[in-house]
Amino acid sequence: MTTTATRPATRPTKKDDGTRQPRVISFSQKLSKWDLKFSPYLYISPFFIMFAIVGLFPIGYTAVISFMDWDLVRNSGEFIGIDQYVWILTQPHFWTALRNTFSIFLLSSVPQLILAIFIAAVLDRNIRARTFWRMSVLLPFVVAPVAVGLIFTAIFADNFGLVNTWLNGIGIDGIPWHKDPLASHVAIATMVNYRWTGYNTLILLAAMQAVNRDFYEAATVDGAGPVRQFFSITLPSLKPTLIFVIITSTIGGLQIFDEPRVFDQFGRGGAGQQWLTIALYLYDIGWGQWNFGRAAAMAWILFVIILLIGLINLFITRTLVRDEGLHRELTKRQARALGKAAKKNVKEEASR
Amino acid sequence: MNSRALRRVGLMAGVATTAAIVLSGCAGSSNPSPSESEGEQNFEGVELTLATFNDFGYTDELLAEFTEETGIKVVHNKAATSNDARANFFQKLGKTGLADVEAVEVDWFTEMMKYSDLVAPVPEDLKGRWLDWKEQAATDANGNLVAYGTDIGPQAVCFRADLFEEAGLPTDREEVAKLFPTWDAFFDIADEYVAKTGKPFIDSANSVLQGLVNQLETAYEKPDGTIVATENPDIRAAYDTVVDRAVPISAYAGQWSEDWFASMASGEYAAMLCPPWMHGIISGNAPDITDWDVADAFPEGGGNWGGSYLVVPANGANVAAAQKLADWLTSPETQIKAFNSAGTFPSQPDAQSSPDLTGFVNEYFNDAPTGEIGINRANAITVSTYKGEKYFQFHDALQNAVTRVFDGVEDKETAWNTWVTEVSAF
């Protein structure tokens, strides 16, 4: 900020000086010139250097390892081309894991976001003890994932779990939480929702509060009810925030690991891979079988999947949730067409 | 200070900070120079690190005795679980950062044998200290013994006397022991129990699979590296036995679940296959039950489950001193002391004649002579299963197949075929 502010002030003086000064520029002047040019980059460089060391380098190194048969202990590997990728893509477990990941992702993200928008809309109203309610929705987020896992393991245990004990109490057979894929996905999605709904609620609430209150007043005057106001004002204004929330929950949802890991005592996704997710499979290949070549290939596949899904999500969100600004930002052709129509109208009026 | 000077200071500060961060980022990789090799037998003032997990029974007092004898100080690091120790071990093996003496559990011992050249071999004169099969499992392709055995897990049968009585079975541990000479006899008794009470007889079907596989010479791999998993008729037979006979009489597919822990006290089943270290788990989870007992029997001989080794990483700073420590810790005398404090059953024949062990009775199990029983069970083990580097993966996948049948997710043949496709990808 400061550099852009000082720049216009220094430039004219430089021009004046240029005619009078000798050609040789003193070192101190050079230094101050460099200072202007390079300091901003230097100031922000620590972050980027750290990022390069702990972010970019591992990503690149993972790519290198993914083309090798890597031995972690001897720290050496043999280049084998794309074999690791081929191996992963031909594993039935991989496709099961992909199915599970998407199933859990959809079962968690969709209800989670709908619920979060609803709760945020309620909290956005004038209610008593506002801060209390707002803080309470965030409370589950403070609980560590593994602790959430422990609590829900007790709730979803097959024989003596809370849910199944209740169901048996009212004469219904217990749900096979650890046997049926869908049941296990619902259980895991519940853990995820428990933790993340409040977090998303708060973000959406903040966005809702930034919406200009005049819109609502005008809408009320025009006779729009709360439901109409919600769909026509609140939801369109949330678009940028919704995109953010959806993309973060996509990334989180596709990398889901903690919850399925603690869902049973072995942490390998069940005897029939009922709740094996991509991240869990990756961990098992890497740290269970010490096959880092395959694990690295898997990490890259996961990266590409997340990228793809993120883009698809962005696209869908853009088309589904319409911006209120769309009416203003007309394309040139639309503007021309509108202008023509108006002229025509005027002519018709005049000729009549 | 004018603004330009201020900016210049800022520039310098920026450069300095950046340089410092870059330098510190690189500093981590420089290795500490290995210390000079020690004089022959004088280890005075040397400090060693020892890394174990769970409870090996190596108390501070015990290590203090070693320091007194040799002048070597020992720092003991305990990992919480064997899995933590495993992750740490393989990440650092062959590099720096491992303790001078590391504990290795039998479950991942086979993985370590692949890197047997990275640990210092056990001196020749110590060979013969351990049970044959314990030593055999730790001998690499070149005939080097590479690990110092600590404890073993000779399995016996634990049973609930009250539940046996209800089903009309004998309750005296001597008589119960006579019930299980073979697996067939074991399953016949189990069927009888299930028919009479309508309740499962044992805790888990996969514990039977474990027992059966541990009685085979060849399981999934041959010592020369050929994989026989899917063609080995013995494995198929074990799978058939487990699915046909063990699944119907078991309460659970596998162990270690919430429900499984809770069931030790609930009386859901009447018997368990149990190595000595299981005694503590039973008494810990069912402290109010007074009817658990141990029978000196295991179908068709013996079976070992669990146990550990100590290894000395070859690139440590004080290999000679570390070998001395491993030698001392696994000596019969020390191992008896460890048994007294943690119940780890010694793997040394000499330790098994010690009155501390032979006379040991377990109060919780109605004063069962668990020391004597352990010795008998250890002597009954005649077969040492060859476990290759992928043993754990094969066995885990087969256990999953049994679990799928148990859960009713797949039938017997489908589960077997799934296992065959699964392991062919290894």
Closest Cα of chain B to A46: distance in Å? 6
How far apart, in whole angstroms, are the C-alpha atoms of residue B227 and residue B221? 5
B28 CB-contact burial (10 Å; exposed 0-12 / middle 13-18 / buried 19+):
exposed
pLDDT (tens digit per residue) in B352-386: 888 888 989 999 999 999 999 999 999 998 888 88
Superfamily of domain B156-301+371-424: Periplasmic binding protein-like II (3.40.190.10)
How far apart, in whole angstroms, are the C-alpha atoms of residue B43 and residue B46? 6
Number of A to B CB contacts under 8 A, please give it: 94
Region of A341 on the Ramachandran plot (φ > 0 left; ψ -120 to 50 alpha; else beta)? alpha
**A237-264: burial string, b at 16+ Cβ within 10 Å, e else:** bbbebbebbbbebbebbbbbbbbbbbbb
**What's the pLDDT band for B284 if we cut at 50, 70, 90?**
confident
Q: Which residues of A touch B7 (CB under 8 A)?
A: 32, 35-36, 39
pLDDT (tens digit per residue) in A27-52: 888 888 888 888 889 999 999 999 99
Between chains, do B14 and A266 touch, taking CB under 8 Å as contact?
no
pLDDT for res B34: 38
Q: Would B47-153+306-358 and B156-301+371-424 be classified into the same CATH topology?
A: yes
Q: Which residues of B touch A158 (CB under 8 A)?
A: 259
A198 close to A139: Cβ distance less than 8 angstroms: yes
Higher model confidence: residue B44 or residue B320?
B320
B19 close to A47: Cβ distance less than 8 angstroms: no
pLDDT for res B38: 40
pLDDT over 70 (residue B17) = no
Q: Which residues of A touch B403 (CB under 8 A)?
A: 271-272
Instruction: Give start and end residues of each alpha helix (H) in B198-242.
Output: 205-213, 233-241
pLDDT for res A247: 87
- Tell me which residue in B90, B410, B421 faces A73 most closely, judged by beta carbons: B90
Helices A239-254 and A292-320: crossing angle in degrees, nearest 10, is 160
pLDDT (tens digit per residue) in A74-122: 888 889 989 999 999 999 999 999 999 999 999 999 999 999 999 999 9
- The number of C-alpha atoms within 13 Å of A135 and in the hemisphere containing its C-beta is 4
CATH fold of A85-323 reads MetI-like fold (1.10.3720)
**What's the pLDDT band for B50 if we cut at 50, 70, 90?**
very high
Between chains, do B10 and A46 touch, taking CB under 8 Å as contact?
no
List chain B domain ranges. Answer: 47-153+306-358, 156-301+371-424
CATH fold of B47-153+306-358 reads D-Maltodextrin-Binding Protein; domain 2 (3.40.190)
pLDDT for res A20: 59
DSSP E strand stretches across B73-198? 73-79, 101-105, 119-120, 148-154, 156-160
| Backbone φ, ψ for residue B72 (5° rounding) | -90, 130
pLDDT (tens digit per residue) in A206-248: 999 999 899 999 999 999 998 899 998 998 888 889 888 988 8
* pLDDT above 90 coverage of chain B, percent: 53
Q: What is the mean pLDDT of chain B?
A: 86
Between chains, do A272 and B400 touch, taking CB under 8 Å as contact?
yes
pLDDT over 60 (residue A325) = no
Amino acid at B130: W
Give, in degrees to the nearest 5, the angle at Cα B86 between B82 and B87.
125
Which of A249, A307, A259 is CA-nearest to residue A279?
Answer: A259
Consecutive H or E run containing B52: strand B47-53
Q: Take residue B365 and report the two structure tokens written for it.
A: 């199990």
Which of B310, B288, B261, B266 is CA-nearest to residue B58?
Answer: B310
pLDDT over 80 (residue A18) = no
Q: What is the pTM of this model?
A: 0.78
Q: Which residues of B touch A293 (CB under 8 A)?
A: none
Closest Cα of chain A to B197: distance in Å? 19
List chain A domain ranges. Answer: 24-84, 85-323
pLDDT (tens digit per residue) in A252-309: 899 899 999 988 888 889 888 999 999 999 999 998 888 899 999 999 999 999 899 8
**For B246, which DSSP code?**
I
Between chains, do A266 and B254 touch, taking CB under 8 Å as contact?
yes
Number of neighbouring beta carbons within 10 Å of residue B232? 17
3-state secondary structure B292-359: EEEECCCCCCCCEEEEEEEEEECCCCCHHHHHHHHHHHCCHHHHHHHHHHHCCEECCHHHHHCHHHHC
ipTM of the complex: 0.76
How far apart, in whole angstroms, are the C-alpha atoms of residue A226 and residue A232? 10
pLDDT over 70 (residue B142) = yes
Higher model confidence: residue A75 or residue B119?
B119
Number of neighbouring beta carbons within 10 Å of residue B352? 22
pLDDT for res A22: 59
